[in-house]
Amino acid sequence: MGTARTTRRARLLAPRPGRRRCWWAETADADFVRYHDEEWGRPVHDDRLLFEMLTLEGAQAGLSWLTILHKRAGYRRAFANFDVQRVARFDARRRAALRRDSAIVRNRLKIDSTVSNARAFLAVKQEFGSFDRYLWAFVGGRPLVNCPRRGAVPARTALSDAISRDLTRRGFRFVGSTIIYAFLQGVGVVNDHTRDCFLCPRRATRGAGTGRRRRTVRPARGSE
């Protein structure tokens, strides 16, 4: 019964004619499609979810994002639903137990970095009031909407380089520029839905003299 239900859900979420998605989400995998349609590129301002996504992106290093998505529930159980204050208190015994937990990536460096990153995360909150305020200040509080062509999405940018350097300076680990750019895409600081994706924001323009200037950036229908 469970398998049949999963199969039906996959069919419902799979790409359909007339509704194109970013190339990486053109799959029948229900978790991948749901993540693309409901999370990727949508602005996140909740510190718990920001810590979760930062952790998951770091855990992905050397692996596929699909592997991490399939382990997401295990990560939430293992890391106290990403309660940053609780994770910051994980001691050596707790970390050793996590290295035996098959529901997550059992890599000592990644597990240890999640705990040390929780402590660094709390220090940022102490300084700025919230990690959300710290992060979004890099873009003036507004998402960067790129609408790239298919195949032209960068792996890193000057923005991810700057944030990566600052996080590293603050004691974070597994925060290289490529990891951080994926994080920025995931939490909507950067919107990289490609131009042929149904979730790519439409740029409305109007004539201004002999030229044209951008007027507003509106979400595509169904993305609100």
CB–CB of 130/84 below 8 Å? Answer: no
145: helix, strand or coil: strand
If you ran DSSP here, which 8-state letter would residue 223 be given? -
Q: At what angle do helices 177-186 and 158-169 cross, to 10 degrees?
A: 110
Burial classification of residue 4, based on how many CB atoms lie within 10 Å of its CB (0-12 exposed, 13-18 middle, 19 or more buried):
exposed
Instruction: Take residue 148 and report the two structure tokens written for it.
Output: 């790239």
CB–CB of 32/66 below 8 Å? Answer: yes
CB–CB of 85/47 below 8 Å? Answer: no
For 129-164, b where at least 16 C-beta lie within 10 A, e where not — what string? eebbebbbeeeeeebbbbbbeeeebeebbebbeebb
Q: Tokens 């994080």 correspond to what residue?
A: 183
Cα 6 to chain centroid, rounded:
24
Active site residues: 35, 57, 65
